[in-house]
Structure 1
Amino acid sequence: MQALIIDDSRTMRSILRRVLAGLGWTTHEAGDGQEALDLLEAGLVPDICLVDWNMPVMDGYTFITRIRAEEKWRGVTLMMVTTESEHGRIVRALAAGAHEYVIKPFTSDAIIDKLRLLGLLHEEVPA
C-alpha cells in the first residue's frame, strides 16, 4: 500500500511515516497541497492521502476540492489529519470529499483504526 503524507510540518510527516512504515506501507511526502498535486500529476497513485488543513501555498481543504474535481483521482482515499477541531470544519471537509477526519494530537492506534475502517488494513496489526 502507498500513502501520500501532506503536511508542512516535517515532524508530523515523520510521525505519520513511522506509523505507516510499521504497517509495511510505502510513503511519499509533500509539504503542501500544491506539491502533493504535482506528485499526483507526475503519476503517483497513492491508496490514501493523509492531509493537513493549514499549510502554505495550498491548504488541505483546497487540495481535497481539487482532487475531487478530477475524475482520474476520484478513487483516492482522503483522510484529514489536522488540529482543526471545529465541528463546522469537520463537516465541511467530509462534504468536500474527505473519507475520515483525525484531530491532532493523535495516537498510532487512532490512525490504524481509521485505516481499518476505510478497509485499507486487512491483516491484524500487532498491539
Structure 2
Amino acid sequence: MRVIDKSFWVVILVIVIGSIWQARFCLSVEQVEGKVNINTATEAQIALLPGIGPKLATEVVNYRTNSGGFKTVEDIKKVSGVGDKKFEKIKDFVVLEGETTIKSTKPAKGEKE
C-alpha cells in the first residue's frame, strides 16, 4: 500500500508541475501582429512588443532620443534590458521605416476568441 501511495503522489506532482509549466508557456505567447517602427513609435506601441512592457518601452524611447535614433534593428540591443533573448522575440516585429501597425490580437475581456 505504501508504494501505491508514493506513486500516487509522484503522479500528482508531475501533473501539477506540468500544469504550471503549460500555464506559464501559454501566457508567455505574445498575441500581436503588425510592425513597430522603433524610430517613430510611441511608448504605448513599443510596449506591445513581446516581452517589452511600459518601463522598457520608456527606455527604448529615451535611448532613441539620446542617440539620435536607431540605425539598424539590432541597435535596439543597446538599450539596457534588451538582450539577445528578448531581441529574438521582437525582431520579426521591429522595422526602421514605414508606419507602426502593431496591434494586439488578444481578445478584450468579455470577448470570445
Q: Normalising by the residue count of structure 1, what TM-score does the alignment of the two structures yield?
A: 0.28
Greater Rg by CA: 2
Query: More relative contact order in 1 or in 2 (CA 8 Å, sep 6+)?
Result: 2
Greater helix share, structure number:
2
TM-score by length of 2: 0.30
